[in-house]
């Protein structure tokens, strides 16, 4: 029997997430709270741990305080068994600059690869919502003989300028013939012209090939030192890049509905939509798959409670996710995500909204189609998400589709 390869996982968690402002004003994108209990990075880390890859470094950089705290508090594993999830902040190990791009981030932490001596390195992004068994991708990579394998998924051609676009070899569709990072003039797939094959930003690489590639890239003055923009195209040029079609990935316990679910929650609208996907009656993405659990921090909070406020005013929630520590007292929540410790007071109404940790909604207040960041206080009678002009005048972000975002800690009178 051939021994299983030694695998080290690297999670790229240094992204700024500019298009998610103001949610990323004080935290890195992978630390953005999602789905009540989670942070975005929990999906990548859960997928790795469930794939039994237990040596994981998380490369952080931008506003990484809350991300580091979350990782060290939540994701400590047993050092006795040689398992770890270690945050590695930008260290200026080589040169006096922060990471220039994702390839430079890997170059700057080559000492970790030296220490671990893995055969294979799995490199994954930290800001997507999905389930994936990386061991199936690693098996396909080893079998194919490629030096680098990129995970691909079909996406609408209108989104091509947000992704690396993969063109497969006409004779061998497991090989990449061309790879263009965020092209403005994409060509649709032969069998589906309105779609492209997008890179998911997840790579499986032979460790020695990765080390050689990022080392050579470091001295290339023309490079942006980016995995998608520079490293993948270099392997494509050499003819050693393969593609792993995500549709082949079969995660235990997946439903027909959520088997191929993958969302890049890069914008406020896509972030909002992905939260809503969790609460559909037949969820588009099912959090309740016990065979592939999504791990996150223990809040230590008491159970949620629903109480009425007299005069027949029942506190209730419907079509919603309600986290620990929530109190709904004579208030109504519909179609919403309520994160730990939110408190809805009498006669308040929250609909089609995402409330992050510790939000208070006082009496008679109304919140509709809004994302309310941590510890916001919505004062008595206040209205959010009902009048876009008023919301903008108060300095809140309102997206084109009409989602209002209230920044962390705001007191809304």
Q: Which residues bind ligand ADQ (CB under 6 A)?
A: 12-15, 29-30, 59, 61, 99, 101-102, 105, 125-127, 163-164, 181, 198-201, 226-228, 264
**DSSP assignment string, 101-131:** SHHHHHHHTHHHHHHH--SEEEEEESSEEE-
* Shortest reach from residue 227's CB to ligand ADQ, in Å: 6
User: What is the rounded CA–CA span in Å between residue 370 and residue 372?
Assistant: 6
Please tell me whether 181 is known to bind a ligand. Answer: yes
Q: Decide whether 225 or 374 has the Cβ nearer to ligand ADQ.
A: 225
* Shortest reach from residue 369's CB to ligand ADQ, in Å: 26
Q: Decide whether 154 or 363 has the Cβ nearer to ligand ADQ.
A: 154
Range list of β-strands (E), 157-247: 164-168, 176-181, 195-206, 241-245
* Shortest reach from residue 343's CB to ligand ADQ, in Å: 32
Q: Decide whether 59 or 372 has the Cβ nearer to ligand ADQ.
A: 59
* Shortest reach from residue 165's CB to ligand ADQ, in Å: 8
User: What is the rounded CA–CA span in Å between residue 366 and residue 348?
Assistant: 6
* Shortest reach from residue 59's CB to ligand ADQ, in Å: 4
Q: Decide whether 226 or 258 has the Cβ nearer to ligand ADQ.
A: 226
For 406, the 3-state DSSP assignment is: strand
Q: Decide whether 24 or 37 has the Cβ nearer to ligand ADQ.
A: 24
Task: Please report the sign of the dihedral spanned by the C-alpha atoms of residue 78, residue 79, residue 85, residue 87.
Answer: positive
Do residues 225 and 104 make contact, with C-beta atoms less than 8 angstroms apart? yes
User: What is the rounded CA–CA span in Å between residue 327 and residue 323?
Assistant: 10
411: Cβ–Cβ under 8 A, 6 or more apart, which residues? 376, 377, 379
């Amino acid at each position: 029997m051939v021994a299983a390869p030694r695998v080290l996982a690297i999670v790229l968690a240094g992204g700024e997430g500019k298009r998610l402002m103001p949610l990323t004003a004080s935290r890195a994108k992978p630390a953005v709270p999602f789905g009540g209990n989670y942070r975005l990075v929990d999906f990548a880390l859960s997928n790795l741990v469930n794939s039994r890859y237990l040596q994981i470094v998380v490369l952080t950089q931008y506003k990484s305080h809350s991300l580091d705290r979350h990782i060290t508090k939540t994701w400590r594993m047993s050092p006795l068994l040689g398992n770890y999830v270690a945050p590695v902040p930008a260290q200026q190990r080589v040169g006096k600059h922060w990471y220039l791009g994702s390839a430079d981030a890997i170059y700057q932490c080559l000492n970790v690869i030296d220490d671990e001596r893995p055969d294979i390195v799995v490199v994954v992004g930290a800001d997507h919502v999905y389930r994936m068994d990386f061991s199936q991708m690693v098996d396909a990579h080893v079998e194919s003989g490629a030096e680098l394998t990129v995970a691909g998924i079909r996406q609408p051609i209108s989104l091509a300028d947000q992704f690396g676009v993969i063109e497969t070899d006409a004779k061998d569709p497991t090989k990449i013939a061309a790879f263009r990072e965020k092209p403005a003039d994409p060509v649709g797939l032969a069998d589906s012209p309105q779609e492209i094959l997008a890179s998911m930003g997840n790579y499986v690489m032979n460790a020695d090939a990765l080390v050689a590639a990022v080392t050579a890239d470091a001295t290339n003055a023309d490079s942006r030192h980016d995995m998608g923009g520079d490293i993948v195209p270099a392997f494509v040029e050499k003819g050693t890049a393969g593609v792993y079609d995500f549709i082949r990935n079969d995660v235990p316990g997946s439903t027909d509905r959520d088997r191929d679910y993958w969302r890049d929650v890069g914008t406020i609208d896509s972030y909002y939509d992905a939260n809503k996907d969790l609460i559909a009656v037949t969820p588009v993405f099912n959090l309740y798959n016990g065979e592939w659990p999504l791990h996150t921090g223990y809040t230590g909070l008491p159970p949620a409670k629903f109480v009425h406020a007299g005069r027949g005013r029942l506190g209730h929630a419907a079509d919603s996710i309600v986290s620990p520590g929530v109190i709904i007292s004579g208030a109504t929540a519909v179609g919403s995500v309520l994160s730990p410790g939110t408190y809805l007071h009498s006669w308040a109404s929250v609909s089609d909204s995402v409330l992050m940790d510790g939000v208070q909604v006082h009496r008679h207040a109304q919140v509709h189609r809004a994302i309310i960041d941590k510890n916001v206080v919505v004062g008595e009678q206040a209205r959010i998400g009902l009048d876009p002009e008023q919301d903008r005048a108060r300095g809140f972000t309102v997206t084109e589709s009409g989602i209002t975002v209230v920044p962390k800690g705001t007191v809304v009178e």
